Amino acid sequence: MTVPAHLSGNYAPVSEERTETELKVTGTLPAELTGTYVRNGPNPRSGESPHWFVGDGMLHGVRLEGGRAAWYRNRYVDTHREFFRPDGSRDLTAGAANTHVVRHAGRTFALVESSFPYEVTADLDTVGPYDFDGRLTTAMTAHPKICPTTGELHFFGYGWGRPPYLTYHRADAAGELVVSRDVEVPGATMMHDFHLTDRHVVFMDLPIVFSLDLVDKGLPYKWDPSYGARLGVLRRDDPHGAVRWFEIEPCYVFHALNAHEEGDRIVLHVMRMPSADESKAVGISSSLWRWTVDLASGTVREEQLDDRVAEFPRIDDRLAGLPATVGYTVTDRALVRYDLARGTSIAHEFGPGRTPNEFAFAAADDRAGGAGWLLGYVYDAMTDTSDLVVRDAETLEAVAAVHLPVRVPFGFHGDWFAAR
């Protein structure tokens, strides 16, 4: 029997939760780099799943303290998967919590876009589902945005059974949910990410459409270019106001790099796919594009910036929604640094059999956009183990690597949580 691609090689789940404290380090870990790098990803408890996106969430973390690697831990997010109550209503506490992990207002959340967030501890243990004291009544995207100026958490939830299909939310810096409003869209789509600027939020209403016929076949979504594609712009100072829509060429975007304002224009950097095969469990075909929304003329300029196939875009998150001149992505074998202002890039190739996952930015000082490091897991097929790799964010030169005695399966998103 052929093993599906999303369950073979380093996509295959690991079978146990472990804590490792005797960790070998190559290079020198900066003493200032004190905190925990945590990455989320699917790891089906049964060893089987119909699609990569739906495996049970597992967190993989490495704790760095004063120039040493204190521990590696992997822990399941302790969720349940009974999605429907006896009366047929959706239970939003049920889900995989397998996509991202973020921290806001003193809480750390494991996220998946189909359910409530799950709170976890600094040691990666599960606290439980979180609904903002009962105020959240929709699912929560796995890609919320924290405004670096106000400290607000902006996010959305999408649904598929019946309207509303899209709801925008905002929590203040203290973590209180203060805005929830429905956004009218033509149908149920898989809206994975969105954009934040200092004055607007921008939704991507793209043609991956819910299909009831596919509910029992992995992901219940299909590519349907007849749905159309458009960007919805909402003013942050009028969160219950009208959403202004701009049509674009049909495409799909899993991940946004960043967005910012230039006068009457909103500049969006995205990893754009010309189409999407929802049945394909692994593999990407996205590349870096820039969309420029002209609010005065009502038009969108669409430009491809690189033909390199890449994904998992990141910036220094202290510049989220502001002009960020540098962005990072990974290919199947390299880490790429883009100079967005100059239109140039550099790349580091990890070598034969070494495959990177997403890299997150860790700041070296208090200046947004300043010096820092990039942290991410790199899988080595020769040893069937993974390293937590630390590289200089400016030059991509090697700083250190924490060698794990286990492998970290390919997964989705993570972050660096500096010690407080």
Residue 277 has what pLDDT? 66
Residue 135 has what pLDDT? 98
Cross-strand partners of 120: 108, 126
- For residue 63, report the phi and psi dihedrals to the nearest 5 degrees: -95, 125
- Per residue in 95-153, pLDDT (tens digit) is 999 999 999 999 999 999 999 999 999 999 999 999 999 999 999 999 999 999 999 99
Query: In the chain, pLDDT over 90 holds for what percent of residues?
Result: 90
Q: What are the C-alpha distances in Å from 157 to residues 228, 252, 352?
A: 20, 18, 40
Sign of the torsion angle spanned by Cα atoms 400, 311, 146, 109: negative
Query: Pick the residue with more confidence: 404 or 160?
Result: 404
- Whether 31 shows a pLDDT value over 60: the answer reads yes
Of the pLDDT bands very low, low, confident and very high (cuts 50, 70, 90), residue 220 is confident
- Per residue in 171-192, pLDDT (tens digit) is 999 999 999 999 999 999 999 9
- Whether 314 shows a pLDDT value over 60: the answer reads yes
Instruction: Give me the mean pLDDT over the 250-276 stretch.
Output: 96
- For residue 132, report the phi and psi dihedrals to the nearest 5 degrees: 55, 55
SS3 state at 265: strand
- For residue 23, report the phi and psi dihedrals to the nearest 5 degrees: -110, 125
- Whether 278 shows a pLDDT value over 90: the answer reads no
Q: What are the C-alpha distances in Å from 251 to residues 207, 254, 274, 285, 332?
A: 7, 10, 5, 11, 22
Residue 213 has what pLDDT? 78
- Per the CB < 8 A criterion, the answer to whether 403 and 23 are in contact is yes
- Per residue in 42-72, pLDDT (tens digit) is 999 999 999 999 999 999 999 999 999 999 9
Assigned superfamily of 5-418: YVTN repeat-like/Quinoprotein amine dehydrogenase (2.130.10.10)
What value does the mean pLDDT of the chain take?
95
SS3 state at 346: strand
b/e burial code for range 89-109 (CB count within 10 A of at least 16 → b): ebebbbbbbbbbbbbbeeebb
Query: Pick the residue with more confidence: 246 or 277?
Result: 246
Within 13 Å, how many C-alpha atoms sit on residue 175's CB side?
14
Residue 219 has what pLDDT? 80
- Whether 290 shows a pLDDT value over 80: the answer reads yes
CA distance 321 to 147: 7
CA distance 383 to 285: 28
- Whether 254 shows a pLDDT value over 60: the answer reads yes
Residue 1 has what pLDDT? 66
- Per the CB < 8 A criterion, the answer to whether 51 and 219 are in contact is yes
Residue 283 has what pLDDT? 61
- Whether 246 shows a pLDDT value over 60: the answer reads yes
Report DSSP letters for 15-47, one per residue.
S--EEE---EEEE---TT--EEEEEEEE--TTS
- Whose CA is closest to 319, among 383, 393, 254? 393
CB neighbourhood size of 363 (10 A): 20
Residue 398 has what pLDDT? 98
Instruction: Give me the mean pLDDT over the 203-231 stretch.
Output: 89
- Whether 346 shows a pLDDT value over 80: the answer reads yes
- Per the CB < 8 A criterion, the answer to whether 378 and 62 are in contact is no
The pTM for the full model equals 0.96
Residue 218 has what pLDDT? 72
